[in-house]
Amino acid sequence: MGKRVLGVAVLLALVLLSMPAACAVTVIGSENDDEARRIAAARAAMAAQTLGHYGMTPVYARDIADGQYPVSVESDSPYFKIVRALLTVEGDAMRLEIGLGSESYSHVYPGDTAGAEAAAQADWICGEAKGDGTAFVIPVEALNRPFECAAYSKNRQRWYDRRLLIDAASLPEGALSFPLPDYALVEKALLNYAADAPAPETTAAPEPEAPRPAAIDLPDGEYSVEVNLAGGSGRASVSSPTLLTVREGRAWARLLWSSAYYDYMLVGPTRYDNLTTDGGNSTFEIPVVALDAAMPVVADTTAMGDPVEIEYTLTFYRESIADKGRIPQEAAKKVLAISGAIIAVGAVLNHFVKKRRR
């Protein structure tokens, strides 16, 4: 009874799949998308299949009447061509005698090459010369399902992976306890139906948002802020305090690295390139997305040859914000300006002293 139910179910599936598109049930929304995706997956499976047909249901010894039957066997290799095959069914066991059209192989093994090489030689199946070729008798578990059959080449002295499939449709009438669908027709119906099926609706992924600088209650202008760098190897550093620029009530920082080999930084998905062009240490202006909290960033360095992106965190401290004169670079500018003024004044005084001496 169970076998008849299975046969009816398979036939119903075939009828449904081979219905014209005009008779198909109309679906909408996500159901329509799911159907299209299933059809696309089936087409991909058909394209990748090398043996048999899509949707083949395995057939076991319990489904076949005892006896010997010539059958059709597919091989995935043109170098392992089967010219005749005889299936023997006895109770719950099956064995297959295959005949090759050459004497190139001395042994086969019911498994892959790794299994054959690990197995004892007594487990190898030795070939028997028959006519112009070689015959092997191998155990079989199911029809309509590919199975491994490693083959040992006499000339190459090595195992090769081979896959075989016994086509249950090649059994004579009456051997099977239930009717088989026409799997070639199933494939054709699927392909024809897929051509008319609507493509699944796809929603483009939203563009990642650029990082938004943190709001800060200061007039627009330039300030200094203490910053702490963590992560990486611990050898790199950034100058602190660093320049903090407030534009339209939002915070931006100008970072000076201890190395000239950083070529870009990432804050979220946005890239910021090195602003230094004279070969000095790398400088970047980046948004400060958080104050008093670790802010993840990525910095790309070429110091090791190939570019390497390194993850860091930066922490900017709100309470440290002060006049930009605290920044080392700004202090150096003041020193240079004062030194220049002193030199200029000294030069003028020296000029007048020399003039009076004359």
Give domain status of residue 352, yes or no: no
Q: Is the same domain home to 227 and 100?
A: no
Q: What is the mean pLDDT of residues 5-31?
A: 41
Q: Model's pTM, two decimal places?
A: 0.45
pLDDT higher than 90, residue 228: yes
192 and 268 inside one domain: no
Number of domains, the chain: 2
Asked if residue 182 is part of any domain, the answer here is yes
357 located within any domain: no
| Residue 342 is assigned to a structural domain of this protein | no
Q: Can you give the chain as a three-state secondary structure string?
A: CHHHHHHHHHHHHHHHHHCCHHHCCCCCHHHHHHHHHHHHHHHHHHHHCCCCCCCCCCECHHHECCEEEECEEEECCCCCCEEEEEEEEECCEEEEEEEECCCCEEEEECCCHHHHHHCCHHHCEECEEECCEEEEEEEECCECCCEECEEEECCCCEEECCEEEEEHHHCCCCCECCCCCCHHHHHHHHHHHHHHCCCCCCCCCCCCCCCCCCECCCCCEEEEECEEEEECCCCCCECCCEEEEEECCEEEEEEEECCCCEEEEEECCEEEECCCCCCCCCEEEEECCCCCCCEEEEEEECCCCCCEEEEEEEEECHHHCEEHHHCHHHHHHHHHHHHHHHHHHHHHHHHHHHHHHC
Q: Do 114 and 230 fall into the same domain?
A: no
If asked whether residues 94 and 156 sit together in one domain, one would say yes
Confidence band for 207, pLDDT divided at 50, 70 and 90: confident
Is residue 41 in a domain? no
Give the per-residue pLDDT at 49: 61
CATH number for position 236 = 2.60.40.1850
* Residue 341 pLDDT: 56
Same domain, 267 and 148: no
Q: Residue 272 above 90 pLDDT? A: yes
In a domain, 117, yes or no: yes
Give the model confidence (pLDDT) of 75-95 as tens digits: 988 889 899 999 999 999 999
Q: Give the domain range for residue 65.
A: 53-196
Are residues 132 and 79 part of one domain?
yes
Q: Confirm whether 31 is domain-assigned.
A: no
